[in-house]
Amino acid sequence: MRGEDSIENRSAWWRMAEFVKLSHTVFALPFALISMMVAAGGWPKWTTFFWILVCMVCARTAAMAFNRVIDWEIDQQNPRTVNRHKLVTKQTGLWLVLLSSVVFAFACWNLNLLCMALCPVALGLISFYSVTKRFSSWSHFFLGLALGAAPMGAWAAVRGELWSVTPYILASAVLFWVFGFDLIYATQDAEFDRKAGLYSFPATYGIERSLQVAVLLHGFSALAMAAFGWFAGLGWTYGLAWIVAVVGLAYEHHLTGLGDPQKINQAFFQVNAVVSISLLIGVGLHYLIEL
């Protein structure tokens, strides 16, 4: 009862932000900003930055609200997510999907023709992830693919083209990184997913195998992050940031190996935030003090 009362006493804005986990924007947004700065060779026009920021927030809000709405009944059965539907009504969730999608399209239109053309593709990609666990154990891959689109979109926003190999390397780093940490996070729901008939990777192949694959994926991600720094011509500040990110990934797997659900949550949010933000700082410092 105390948990329900605390939710009901929160403001509507807090409940909506919690509904879509707005704080988790820290995962994809730094990589979009990294791509933006590299594409611009520094800081772009402020209007470009503003519309990229709007795109990122709205795209993620639309994707998360869609995920919550389509999983409405499933989440009520899962002990870990049972309180989600108490944050907002299902109708509010649908309105969040619609309004954030419309604003996302408007922001794309204010950037350039390529972004506008890719707008429906992006919305389809970030929404598709939410239905994949109903028929595929590779839903975590599709989440990585969706978040990997962030640096691609930011590059397109600045350059108006996607011919360079550089954003694809960064996108692959994000894909492997997200694929890996979502496998770790999904181990908490392995038993529930089996009972509910959902095809998550841990439910299908087991927790031990999932954690082994996550280590491999994060190794690939670290290599791709290094390759991105090379192709982007980034210097020693990025190199130091890359070391911090790699240590963070190693620590994430250390926490996961302890078998404590609280440690898994710590690995999921805090450690991964360090990974993305440290790389963003490294790129920012490169353009601030190295050039």
- Closest alpha carbon to 263 in 220, 217, 211, 213: 211
Q: pLDDT band for 108, please (50, 70, 90 cuts).
A: very high
Residue range 38-74, pLDDT digits in tens:
999 999 999 999 999 999 999 999 999 999 999 999 9
Please report, to the nearest 10 degrees, the dihedral formed by the alpha carbons of residues 281, 248, 274, 71 taken in order. 130
d(CA 152, CA 169): 10
The pLDDT assigned to 2 comes to: 45
Q: What is the mean pLDDT of the chain?
A: 91
Q: Which residue has the tokens 């050039």?
A: 291
- For the cut 70, the answer to whether the pLDDT of residue 178 exceeds it is yes
Element (H, E) at 223: helix 207-231
Which pLDDT band holds residue 5 (cuts at 50, 70, 90)?
low
Categorize the per-residue pLDDT at 266 as very low, low, confident or very high, splitting at 50, 70 and 90. low
Looking at residue 291, its pLDDT comes to 56
Q: What is the distance between the alpha carbons of residues 241 and 132, in angstroms, rounded to a whole number?
A: 34
Average pLDDT over residues 250-271: 76
Give the C-alpha distances (Å, rounded to integers) separating 55 from 33, 110, 206, 241, 287.
12, 10, 36, 26, 24
More confident residue, 268 or 188: 188
For residue 133, with 0-12 CB atoms within 10 Å meaning exposed, 13-18 middle and 19 or more buried, which class applies?
Answer: buried
pLDDT value at residue 48? 97
pLDDT, position 216: 97
Which ranges constitute the DSSP H helices of 71-138? Answer: 72-77, 90-111, 113-132
- The domains of the chain, with CATH numbers, are 2-290 (1.10.357.140)
CB 227 within 8 A of CB 169: yes
Q: What is the pLDDT of residue 1?
A: 41
- pLDDT given at position 155: 98
Q: What is the pTM of this model?
A: 0.92
Which residues lie below 8 Å from residue 9, measured CB to CB, with a gap of 6+? none
Q: Is the pLDDT of residue 261 over 90?
A: no
Q: Which one has a higher pLDDT value, 21 or 156? A: 156
**Tens of pLDDT, residues 6-19:** 666 678 888 888 88
Mean pLDDT on 75-80 = 87
